[in-house]
Every structure is written in C-alpha cells, then in structure tokens.
Structure 1
C-alpha cells in the first residue's frame, strides 16, 4: 500500500521533471526520496539543474547535453559521482555506478590549464557495473556485460563479457552471460520503442 501511495503522491512529479528516468515502478528508489534528495536540490538549489535524470546532491554532472544514455541508467545518482562529459559520454542501458565513481571525458591541456583536450567520447555498453571509487579516463570504450572492480583506473578499452580490476585496470576473467530478464520489469512510465529490443535481449 505504501508503495502505491508513494507513486500516487510523488511518482508523477518525478516522471514530469525527469523525462529520461526509466526504472522499475516499484521497488527501486522511493519516489519521496527522489523528490527530497534529488529533485529539490537539482531544481530549487540549482545543483545539476540541466540534467534530465536524478543526480544525487553530492554528485556533479558536467556538460550533460553531451551525454546519451539508455534506460535503467542514471549517471550521477549515487553518492559522490563526478561525470565530466566535455567530449561526450555514450552510456548504454542497465548501467550502475558505485559511490565515488569518476568518468572524465577530457583532460586539461598541458600548456593551458584553462582549455580541455579534444577527443572521441567515452562509450560504455549495456549491463555494466562500475565499482565504487573507480575512474574512467578519456576515450575509453567498455563493452557489454562488464564488471569493473572497485578502485580501478580504466585507461584502456575493456572488451565485452569481462571482469576487470586494478590500477591500471586489466581483465582477470570472462564474465558469464547476463541472466536477469529485463522484459518482466514494470516501468514507472511507458518505455520508448527504441529500447524494447534491448529489454528482450540479454546483451
């Protein structure tokens, strides 16, 4: 009953202010928490105000217009995330970031610290877990179905179906196929057609 009342009173507010927020309707994050811990700091106190999904008030998302993302993915929704997308970041679907994760798409120039280097965007595939306090450096590509261990420094590409850890991050073993049946999820709102194929697959 509480879950339904929570959605009734606060769910419509969350769906209105976060057009790119697609999560299970019940059982993921309580809507009143999203309103008071995320939406109010973002919209009222202007912490990450331009981001179209929930960002925790302790996290920072820079250049959100350069971010594309799928569903079940809200970069910056955990504690102390730093997402810098000057050169672009392409997130797939079903991605979780642990607390303290940094994703940095461009560095400062060595000869002018007020300017950033140019380069290709960071890409992160589907069904990816990035452990706490890890850092993803510019131009890196992470494949589908990957786990990055906590405290890792990812400075080169990581292939699909891998578990990778360390500083620098290296693959330590193959990862089993992703097993969760995402097609059974009842979402907080209608999912765009472009994501339906992903929900039916396990890639």
Structure 2
C-alpha cells in the first residue's frame, strides 16, 4: 500500500521532470526520496539542473548534453560522483556506479590549464558495475558485462566479460554471463522500443 501511495503522490512528478529515468516501478528508490534528495536540489537549488535523470545533491555532472545513456543507468545518482563529459560519454544500459566514482572524459592542456584536450568519448557497455571511489580516465572503453573493483584507476580499455581491479586497473579473471531476466521488470513508465531487444537478451 505504501509503495502505491508513494508512486501516486511523487512518482508522476519524478517521471515528468526526469524524461530519461527508467527504473523498476517499485523496489528501487522510493519516489519521495527522489523528490526531496534529488529533484528539489536539482530544480530549486540549481544543482545539476540540466540533467534529465536524478543526480544526488552531493554529485556533479558536467556537460550532460554530451552524455548518452540507456535504461537502468543514471550517472551521478550515487553519493559524491563526478561525471565530466566534455569529450562525451556513452553509457549502455544496466550500469551502477558506486559512491565516489569519477568519470573524466578530458584532461587539461599542460600549457593552458583553462583549456581541455580534445579526444574521443568514453564508452561503457551494458551490465557494468563500477566500484566505489574508482576513476575512469579519458578515451577508455569498458566492454559489456564488466565489474571494476573499488578504488581502481581505469586508464586503458577493459574487455567484455571481465573483472578488473587495481591502480592501474588490470583484468584479474573472466566474468560469467549476465543472467538476470530484465524482461520481467515492471518499469516506472513505458520503455522505448529501442530497448526491447536489450531487455529480452537473456531469455
């Protein structure tokens, strides 16, 4: 009963203000928490106001217009995330970032600290978990079905189906296939057709 009341009072507001927020309708994050800890700071106090998904008030998302993302993925929704997308970041679907994660798409020029180096976008695949206090550096590609261990520094590409840890981050073992049946999830709103194949991939 409380879950339905929570969605009735706050859920429609969250769906209205966050057009790129796609999560399970119930059992993920309570809507009143999203309202008071995310929506109010973002829209009323202008903390990450241009981001179209929930960002925690302790986190920062720069150049959100250069971020593309799938479903079950909200960069900056955890504590103390720093997402800098000057050169672009491409997020897949079903991605979780631990607290303190930084993703930095461009470095400063060594002879002009007010300027950023141009480079290719960071790309992060589907079914990726990045552990707490990890840092992803510019031009890195992380494949599908990857776990990055806590406190890792990712300065080179990480292949799909792997577990990688350390500073610098290295693959330590292969990861089994991701098996969760996402097609059974009931989402907070209708999922765009382009994600149907992703949701049915593990059937």
Quickly name the TM-score band, shorter chain normalised. Answer: over 0.9
Q: Is the 8 A contact 1:177 1:202 kept in 2?
A: no
Q: Distance in 2 between matches of 1:93 and 1:4?
A: 26
Deviations 1:72-124 (A, max 9, x none): 00000000000000000000000000000000000000000000000000000
What is the TM-score normalised by the length of structure 1? Answer: 0.99
Match of 2:41, SS? helix
Match of 1:190, SS? coil
Gap change, CA 1:146 and 1:122, over 3 Å in 2: same
Instruction: Confirm whether residue 191 of structure 1 aligns to residue 191 of structure 2.
Output: yes
Q: Distance in 2 between matches of 1:199 and 1:75?
A: 20
Instruction: Confirm whether residue 119 of structure 1 aligns to residue 136 of structure 2.
Output: no
Paired position in structure 1 for 2:92: 92
Task: Report the alpha carbon displacement of residue 141 of structure 1 after superposing the two structures with TM.
Answer: 0.1
Name the Cα RMSD after superposition.
Answer: 0.8
Paired position in structure 2 for 1:77: 77
Paired position in structure 2 for 1:32: 32
Deviations 1:133-159 (A, max 9, x none): 000000000000000000000000000
Deviations 1:153-178 (A, max 9, x none): 00000000000000000000000000
Q: Distance in 2 between matches of 1:166 and 1:202?
A: 30
Q: Distance in 1 between matches of 2:97 and 2:197?
A: 23
Unaligned runs of 5+ in 1: none
Q: Count residues with an aligned counterpart.
A: 203
